[in-house]
Amino acid sequence: MAEQLRRVLDEDRFRLLVEAVADYAIYMIDPQGIVTSWNAGARRFKGYQEAEILGAHFSCFYTAEDRQAGLPGRALDTALAEGRFESEGWQVHKDGSRLWCHVVIDPIRDAGGQLLGFAKIIRDLTERKVAEETLKQSEQQFRLLVQSVTDYAIYMLDPEGRVSSWNLGAQRIKGYMPQEIIGEHFSRFYTEQDRLDGEPQRALDIATCEGRFEKQAWRVRKDGTQFLAHVIIDPIRSDAGELLGFAKVTRDISEAVEAQKALESAREALFQAQKMQAIGQLSGGIAHDFNNLLTVILGNLELARKRIGGDPKLARLLDNAVIGAERGVSLTQRMLAFARRQELKTEPVALTQLVTNLSGLLGSSLGPQVTILTELPESLPTVLADVNQLELALLNLATNARDAMPGGGTLLFKADLCDSSQAAGVNLPHERYVRLCVIDSGEGMDEQTLALAADPFFTTKGLGKGTGLGLSMVHGLAEQLGGRLILKSRKGQGTTAELWLPLATQAIQAAAARAPSAGAAQQPLCVLVVDDDSLVLTSTTLLLEDLGHQVLCAMSGAQALQRFAECPAIDLMITDLAMPVMDGGQLASAVRQLRPDLPIILASGYAQRLEGLAAALPRVPKPYTQLQLIEALAQAVAQTPARRNEAPPDAGLPATAG
């Protein structure tokens, strides 16, 4: 009796225990699958109260698909046959929602082995299942992302360096299909030299020891071509720290590097252009001031020559001084040509004839050790150029070529007709050009010297043997004409100077004004001279007074206008162009408002872009001689309609063509 009571008490405690469990659904079903007990955990998981579910078939907890597939009956059969059924799957809550459950079914038998029913234990694993599904989906999305990337080669290596995965970027960049490369060693992407140097294994060792490997280096595609790559290798380890392999990311940076080089080249070109512009402005300003000084020097030397009488020693001294001043004029001309501020008298020029006429002078200048050859077609069209400046440019190029051939050599003049598109890397404003090449067989230049060759004041001829303005003058002349000087050279292989000259689009020869003879008489004039430089003002005054003219002076535009108010008998005005506050062009316009018929001459040390009235006025370049003043006076008077009509035929003015 006591034993029976103890058993009953134990059963009651066990039932209370089962009833109290809330984290597991524990219930009994009979041999036919009818629910016969229901604990608190079952109520919480399934949503049914005990009164609602007792007597119902346990298949109501399964999804419709599982019921249709016969899964409830199969679960009981398995439990009977194997003594236990265990699985995970979706179960249905009372409200229709689904739970991912871990299910265990055990058959319950009496002491005689008779089947009494089944014990079913269910654990809700929905949160774990959702986390797993989320992780799986994330991994799948990440895998799809990696596979879809085309700008980066992203692939896996096993610990020995064999390829174990391959994305579209790797396929595009490397050129291999997945079936061609998976299982192969990644060292095949390295150059032969890198493989010999052990670079592939070194990269893996660094990644393993330091946790990362990163480098820019050349890599090889399937077709054998090389590309510059940015490479990153990261070791992949398990939670226990075991090396599983490597993640390798490769980016083709060839285009980016080339773009960066192009950008740096453009920046360098911009810097060079800005530097040349600054030097050009400086050179132009210096040359302008030099021209003012040379105007004074040459003018006074010219007047002094008339007053020395027949003393040959004094004449020789003055001649030497004039020669020195003329060399100064040549130097300023080169500086102005470089600065593109030189006054150019452009006209159609036949290059073949010009070079032929120049050959004799070149032969005597270069010496017998230099052989001059020409390949100039007679059919070459004319180019637009200033004859004198072009001859000077060719002399400069020939002289440089001679200096590059100290033991003698060959100098070839060659020309052909070209389109601007043939000037690789150079933008030219016109479509058609004649390319005149001056080719020597001399020492040539290295890259550094070639880059500096056309810079002003740069010379390789040694101290005192060159001004460094020869090539820069040629460069400035070509630019001013709308062409270009292109230098090509390699050390030990000579130099080619290409002078690109635009075609003369209009072959109409401008009617040249006939200059008056030096001894022609001019009627006395009252001339107003305007210049902000007192030395130039004094020198010009002396030259004009020596010709018999009356001279008034002004050092500014405002002072000049005041002179017109004070002296209405002024016959002509000579004004400097570059003056502060009011320049010569502005002054000329203001004077023409007061005196529409007044002849006006503009004097300038360098070329300027002129508009309106100033562009049509006669000009005299600084430094000027007394003869040039005579010619300018005659031209100005002849170009003024009112004066030309008033002047009597025997007024002493020489006839000129305006």
* Measured CA angle at 584 (ends 580, 585), to 5 deg: 120
pLDDT tens string 72-127: 999 999 999 998 999 998 999 889 888 899 999 999 988 888 898 999 998 888 88
Q: Residue 268: is it exposed, middle or buried by C-beta count within 10 angstroms (0-12/13-18/19+)?
A: exposed
Could you give the dihedral angle defined by the CA atoms of residues 572, 574, 577 and 579, in that order, rounded to the nearest 10 degrees? -100
In order, the DSSP letters of 556-582 are SHHHHHHHHHH-TT--EEEEES--SSS
Question: How many other CB atoms sit within 10 Å of the CB of residue 69?
Answer: 12
Phi/psi at 19 (5° precision): -65, -30
- The Cα-based distances of 624 to 292, 387, 512, 579, 600 in angstroms read 10, 20, 19, 18, 16
Query: Could you tell me the mean pLDDT of each successive run of 10 residues in the chain, 658 residues long?
Result: 49 55 83 90 86 90 91 91 91 89 91 88 84 70 64 89 90 90 92 93 94 92 92 90 91 85 75 60 60 73 74 73 70 55 69 82 79 86 82 81 85 88 78 89 79 54 44 74 84 86 59 37 83 87 89 92 89 89 90 90 70 78 81 81 42 29
Alpha carbon distance 248, 206 (integer Å): 13
Phi/psi at 201 (5° precision): -65, -35
- Closest by CA to 522, choosing from 626, 657, 640, 641, is 626
Alpha carbon distance 642, 649 (integer Å): 14
Q: Is 19-126's fold the same as 347-502's?
A: no
Helix/strand/coil percentages in the chain, nearest 5: 45, 25, 30
Hey, CA dihedral for 621, 622, 623, 629, is it positive or negative? Answer: positive
Question: How many other CB atoms sit within 10 Å of the CB of residue 527?
Answer: 24
Find where tokens 């102005």 sit: 336
Return the DSSP state at 103. Answer: E
Find where tokens 């030990």 sit: 492
Range 328-334, long-range pairs (CB < 8 A, 24+ positions)? 328/290, 328/294, 328/297, 329/291, 329/294, 329/298, 329/623, 331/290, 331/467, 331/469, 332/287, 332/290, 332/291, 332/294, 332/605, 333/392, 333/473, 334/467, 334/469, 334/470, 334/472, 334/473
Amino acid at 456: P
Alpha carbon distance 485, 492 (integer Å): 21
- Widest distance between CA atoms in the chain: 170
For the record, the structure tokens of 558 come out as 């405002």
Alpha carbon distance 496, 84 (integer Å): 97
User: What is the model's pLDDT at position 458?
Assistant: 46
Residue 179 CB-half CA count within 13 A = 0
Amino acid at 491: K
Show the beta-strand stretches assigned E in 534-636: 550-554, 572-576, 600-604, 619-621
What is the SS3 assignment for 105? strand
Domain 526-646 has CATH 3.40.50.2300: yes
Q: Are 370 and 345 in contact (CB under 8 A)?
A: no
For the record, the structure tokens of 237 come out as 């380890």
Domain locations along the chain: 19-126, 149-252, 276-333, 347-502, 526-646
Q: In what order do the strands lie in the sheet with 213-220?
A: 152-157, 243-252, 226-237, 213-220
Q: What is the CATH number of domain 19-126?
A: 3.30.450.20
- Closest by CA to 91, choosing from 113, 59, 115, 56, is 59
Alpha carbon distance 379, 373 (integer Å): 18
Alpha carbon distance 292, 423 (integer Å): 39
Name the CATH superfamily, with its identifier, for domain 149-252. PAS domain (3.30.450.20)
Q: What is the CATH number of domain 347-502?
A: 3.30.565.10
Amino acid at 480: Q
Amino acid at 414: K
Alpha carbon distance 76, 73 (integer Å): 5
Return the DSSP state at 517. Answer: P
User: What is the model's pLDDT at position 302?
Assistant: 74
Q: Which residues, other chains included, contact 296 with Cβ-Cβ below 8 Å and sequence gap of 6+?
A: 535, 536, 538, 539
**Whole-number CA gyration radius for the chain:** 50
The average confidence (pLDDT) of the chain is 79
- The Cα-based distances of 205 to 52, 161, 190 in angstroms read 67, 11, 16
Q: In what order do the strands lie in the sheet with 495-502?
A: 370-375, 409-419, 432-440, 495-502, 484-489
User: What is the model's pLDDT at position 70?
Assistant: 92
Alpha carbon distance 471, 459 (integer Å): 10
Q: Residue 501: is it exposed, middle or buried by C-beta count within 10 angstroms (0-12/13-18/19+)?
A: buried
User: What is the model's pLDDT at position 19?
Assistant: 63
User: What is the model's pLDDT at position 568?
Assistant: 85
Buried-state track 595-613, b at ≥16 Cβ within 10 A, e below 16: eeebbbbbbbbbbbebeee
Return the DSSP state at 532. Answer: S
- The Cα-based distances of 328 to 303, 332, 476, 607, 609 in angstroms read 19, 6, 18, 18, 25
